[in-house]
Amino acid sequence: MFALAASLRRLVIRDFAVPDVGAHLAHWLTVAIDGEQADAVAEREAWGRQLPVESRLRIATFFALASGVLFLPVDGTPVGTDVLAMLLLIYAAHAALTSFVLIASFTGSGRRRADSLALVLVIGHAVNLEASLWAWPKYPGLTAGVLACLLMGNAVLFSWSTGRVLGLAIGFCTAFVVVGLAAPPHGLQRPDFAVAAVVLLVGAATAIGCTRLLAVLRSSLTERQRELTQLSSHLIAVQEEERRRLARDLHDEFGQVLTAVNANLWIIERQPPADPSALRDRAAEARRLVNRTLAAMRQISHLLRPSLLDTLGLLPSLEQLVRSFGERQGIATSLSADGLPARLSPPVETALYRITQEALTNVARHARARRVRVALAAMGDELRLEIEDDGVGFTPSGGRGPQAGIGLVGIRERVRALGGELAVNSGKGVRLEARVPLSSAAV
């Protein structure tokens, strides 16, 4: 009996040391949270990379020099000597302007004023094109096409605002019409000039539309990057809070219990053999404390990763989650499932479980609801998860609170990672619906 007690005491001290338990549990928690945090940070950094303006300016100058070499033979054959001299002068100005901008882009002042240099480059080339139209108006369609490409290409390349592109478009079109009227043969009755003007107008409208579309897309990307930044910060805060709570639980729960077990085993080791009743009481107390420790460890393990999710699947895990949530919060809960396959793929099961867990957490924190309904069904070629409460709802812009907004961002990212869609409606309560393709949910 004494030898057994001594062995148990050494086992508690050596194999169940509080620092080791804490180290292992903290490691599991860190790995679980850092995995999600790394994905969000990597995606944010990938979006954050952008080509500098001076580099885009050098690309524009390269294309400008190449286009000059390409179009000079077209403009120069066959023309008279006086016209050829004028065209050579125009192309010389084209080359000089492009070379100046290219050289300036490598200087410190040029890098600081790269956007202004880009505007000078585009306006200068437009003036050169209008001058070539005045000097040799044989191919107005070629000039109009190049002007349209110049406007569209640079608007996209330099990410200009809609107002700037609109101003340039008005200037280009007005100058083209004025020069076309002044250039011999005179008049707008020339069919080729009318067609060229229409081409330029269509190109200008396309450039303005593309600029507006890009502005909307950039705004959407900026908003998404802001959400991911907030989500990353929230994950870091959650990681630190979970570590703090885990350290507190280890110290307050495991540390005290294991110390008491160690003390009981020490007493048993030194208890006189003539008192078996006291020995049994001490052994029973030690056993009760060990069972209490195992229950606490199971609870922490369930928080990190519910074992039912791996052994029995999604539906039993959701039943336990919804039932325990209702008992803990005093809220009437219901769970329904229809047409589900026996098992789903592990990533889908984990994502749907965490989505439900996060949604129920938001309900507990902010909704002040009396009933919560969770429904999971396979409909057609998609899997639908619906979570609905009868709480106070929230405004689309503000949410129920700061954490509710972050929670919804996390839910949305999980749904997007599965190739699905998320819809959130708020009126009298909140209705959250996640749709995931069954092709991604199949085992």
Q: For every one of its 443 residues, what pLDDT tens digit does the chain have, with 9 covering 90 and above? A: 445 445 544 544 444 444 444 444 444 434 444 444 444 444 444 434 467 888 888 998 888 888 777 766 655 556 667 777 887 888 888 889 999 999 999 998 888 899 999 999 999 989 988 888 888 777 788 888 889 988 998 888 888 888 899 999 999 999 998 888 777 664 445 677 888 889 999 999 999 998 899 888 888 888 877 777 777 777 777 677 777 777 776 666 677 777 777 777 777 767 666 667 777 777 787 778 778 777 777 777 766 677 778 888 888 889 988 998 898 889 999 999 988 888 888 888 888 998 998 899 888 888 888 999 999 998 888 899 999 998 887 765 444 444 446 778 788 888 888 888 999 888 788 899 999 988 765 65
pLDDT at position 253 is 67
Last residue of some domain: 288, 305, 322?
Answer: 305
Last residue of some domain: 305, 329, 360?
Answer: 305
- Establish if 109 belongs to a structural domain: no
Q: Are residues 156 and 180 in the same domain?
A: yes
CATH number of the domain within which 371 lies: 3.30.565.10
Query: Is the pTM here over 0.75, yes or no?
Result: no
Of 322, 109, 135, 315, give the one whose Cα is nearest residue 117.
Answer: 109
pLDDT at position 70 is 73
Distances from the Cα of 252 to the Cα of 78, 248, 256, 257, angstroms = 95, 6, 6, 8
Identify whether the C-beta of residue 233 lies closer than 8 Å to the C-beta of residue 280.
no
Long-range contacts of 13-16 (CB under 8 A, 24+ apart): 13/262, 16/258, 16/293
Of 321, 290, 319, give the one whose Cα is nearest residue 305.
Answer: 321
- Which domain, by its residues, includes 313? 307-441
Identify whether the C-beta of residue 126 lies closer than 8 Å to the C-beta of residue 146.
no
Q: Are residues 375 and 326 in the same domain?
A: yes
Last residue of some domain: 248, 278, 305?
Answer: 305
Identify whether the C-beta of residue 105 lies closer than 8 Å to the C-beta of residue 118.
no
Q: Are residues 4 and 149 in the same domain?
A: yes
Q: Are residues 338 and 274 in the same domain?
A: no
Q: Are residues 269 and 413 in the same domain?
A: no
Q: Are residues 218 and 361 in the same domain?
A: no
Give 387's strand partners. 374, 432
- Establish if 252 belongs to a structural domain: yes
Q: Is 221 exposed, middle or buried (0-12, 13-18, 19+ CB in 10 A)?
A: exposed
Compute the residue count for the chain.
443
